[in-house]
């Protein structure tokens, strides 16, 4: 029973390039969340998606960042024109549903560590 899968695990980009991070939720989970963890800081909520819908993107920077969760395939977090400050660990989590006892528990993937040179 595979857990949440993320790839790549490590990604190196030069300033100005694009970064694409992928997340496949756990089997049976239709709710996906992205978090960012800067060095020596806690995880910060970025965005919550369901299939083909962005439910809450209040934690996403207004520019250069976008996320999608298409009908088929993984969720994608896209960062355009990366800057050094984007270097962080990006974690994806999934749940069966956002509410109700037990169903809102979020299970995290192994993360993608983005390094911007």
Partner 1 sequence: RKEVEQDPGPFNVPEGATVAFNCTYSNSASQSFFWYRQDCRKEPKLLMSVYSSGNEDGRFTAQLNRASQYISLLIRDSKLSDSATYLCVVIPATSGTYKYIFGTGTRLKVLA
43 binds partner 1 (CB under 8 A): yes
In the complex, what is the shortest distance from the CB of residue 90 to partner 1, in angstroms, rounded to a whole number?
Answer: 11
Angle at 67 between CA 63 and CA 73, to 5 degrees: 155
Stretch of residues binding partner 1 (CB under 8 A), selected from 16-24, 61-69, 71-79, 107-115: 107-115
CB count in 10 Å sphere of residue 4 = 21
Query: What backbone phi and psi angles, to 5 degrees, belong to 116?
Result: -105, 120
Binding stretches for partner 1 (CB under 8 A): 31, 33, 35, 40-45, 48, 55-56, 58-59, 89, 91, 93, 95, 98-99, 104-111, 113
């Amino acid at each position: 029973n595979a857990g949440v899968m993320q790839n790549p695990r490590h990604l190196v980009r030069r300033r100005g390039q694009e970064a694409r991070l992928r997340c496949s939720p756990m089997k049976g989970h239709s709710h996906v969340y992205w978090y960012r963890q800067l060095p020596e800081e806690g995880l910060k909520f970025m965005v919550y998606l369901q299939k083909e819908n962005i439910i809450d993107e209040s934690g996403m920077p207004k520019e250069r960042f976008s996320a999608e969760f298409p009908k088929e395939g993984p969720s994608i977090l896209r960062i355009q024109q990366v800057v050094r400050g984007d270097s962080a660990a990006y974690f994806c989590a999934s749940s069966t549903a956002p509410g109700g006892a037990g169903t809102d528990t979020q299970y995290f993937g192994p993360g993608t560590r983005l390094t911007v040179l």
